[in-house]
Amino acid sequence: MNKIAVLTSGGDAPGMNTAIRAVVRRGIFKGLDVFGVQNGYKGLMDGDFVSMNLGSVRDIIHRGGTILQSTRCSEFKIAEGQQQALAQLKKEGIGGLIVIGGNGSFEGARKLTVEGFPTIGIPGTIDNDIAGTDYTIGFDTAVNTAVEAIDKIRDTAASHERTYVIEVMGRDAGDIALWAGMCAGAESIIIPEADHDVEDVIDRIKQGYQRGKTHSIIVVAEGAFNGSVGKGIEIGRVIREKTGFDTKVTILGHLQRGGSPSAYDRMMSSQMGAKAVDLLVEGEKGVMVGLKNGKLIHSSFGEAAKDKHTIDLSIYHLARSLSI
């Protein structure tokens, strides 16, 4: 293996550029030619490769987003698209690929491996929802962004005696909501992994006001309630109607994806990027780099796909006990 390539796929996450930097520099250190693939799997199908050198990744360790860009590509999901990508890799003489992304991105990487092409995955998604690893690149920065926003909103909530519902990202996983809500001292945290009764949220708000509290913060993951009640706006409406309190809703949205990666995200991205290169050099394929119990590990795409991401509900129960 003399040439390897790296691509980013799916939603961007702070730390992706740091991981790209680590892949390029570790690859060059190992004597490899490293190529970047522009626009994810679409670029792979189109043969949109760019030769990467040390200067290519200069001054990107602190930048959010991804310099290689990322595009959703439904064409790659079918066999013809995968064969087209493999032909482009063969044409360029590339012998291994590193994919930085989430579950959907890893499914594409797995299919390439099934076809015999060595592929390694690096978990990059702010949702922290990939089984097989305790941590995904971008999660820490997203949580810090949410906490900073909630802290600022609380200042306004206290000044105007308001209840604020703050919706954070997390369609299928409540990690951002749980961590941000816990760290920002939210009165209620609503996540997909825990059963919720809106009446319970309302009772907690009323009890707080009876004790003299003049404001409340409710943090809700965008995927909570499975659509039975709705997202932040609907929850805010119900609270407003049943309490009569001045209730505002803030949806943080894609604000959480951007920004300079935190020190922890930079550290983990650097380690995972270098580890991915080492695994390719050692002849591994079809595996994902991960973090378990503070140690870098790797597991097969198939093994990770069989498991389901779980959340530490002990933190959720702790948050409830501290917000009484």
Q: For the stretch 11-48, what's the b/e string if a residue is b when 16 or more beta carbons lie within 10 angstroms of its beta carbon? A: bbbbbbbbbbbbbbbbbbeeebbbbbbbbbbbbbbeeb
Known binder of ligand: residue 213? yes
Q: Does residue 127 have a known ligand-binding role?
A: yes
Q: Is 187 annotated as a binding residue?
A: yes
In 3D space, the residue among 137, 127, 118, 140 whose CA is nearest the CA of residue 301 turns out to be 118
- Is 129 known as a binding-site position? no
Inter-residue contact 136 to 124 (CB < 8 Å): yes
DSSP annotation of 21 reads H
Tokens for 265, please give them: 């995200």
With CA atoms as reference, report the closest residue to 118 among 98, 90, 88: 98
| Interatomic CA distance for residues 248 and 240, integer angstroms | 9
Q: Is 256 annotated as a binding residue?
A: yes
Catalytically annotated residue among 127, 129, 140, 175 = 127
Q: Is 301 exposed, middle or buried (0-12, 13-18, 19+ CB in 10 A)?
A: buried
Give yes or no: 12 in active site: no
Is 183 annotated as contributing to ligand binding?
A: no
Which residue in the block uniquely carries the two structure tokens 């482009």?
A: 88
Is 186 annotated to bind ligand? yes
289 is annotated as contributing to ligand binding: no
Find out whether 255 is annotated in a ligand binding site: yes
Q: Euclidean distance between the first and final Cα of the chain, in Å?
A: 59
25 is in an annotated binding site: yes
The reply to whether 126 sits in an annotated binding site is: yes
Q: Please tell me whether 154 is known to bind a ligand.
A: yes
Distance between CA 261 and CA 16 in Å, rounded?
9
Q: Is 68 annotated as a binding residue?
A: no
The verdict on whether residue 268 carries a ligand-binding annotation is: no
Among 304, 251, 313, 253, which Cα is nearest to 104's? 304
- Positions marked catalytic: 127
Show binding-site residues for ADP.
21-25, 154, 185-187, 211, 213-215
Show binding-site residues for Mg(2+).
103
Show binding-site residues.
11, 21-25, 72-73, 102-105, 125-127, 154, 162, 169-171, 185-187, 211, 213-215, 222, 248, 254-257
Show binding-site residues for ATP.
11, 72-73, 102-105
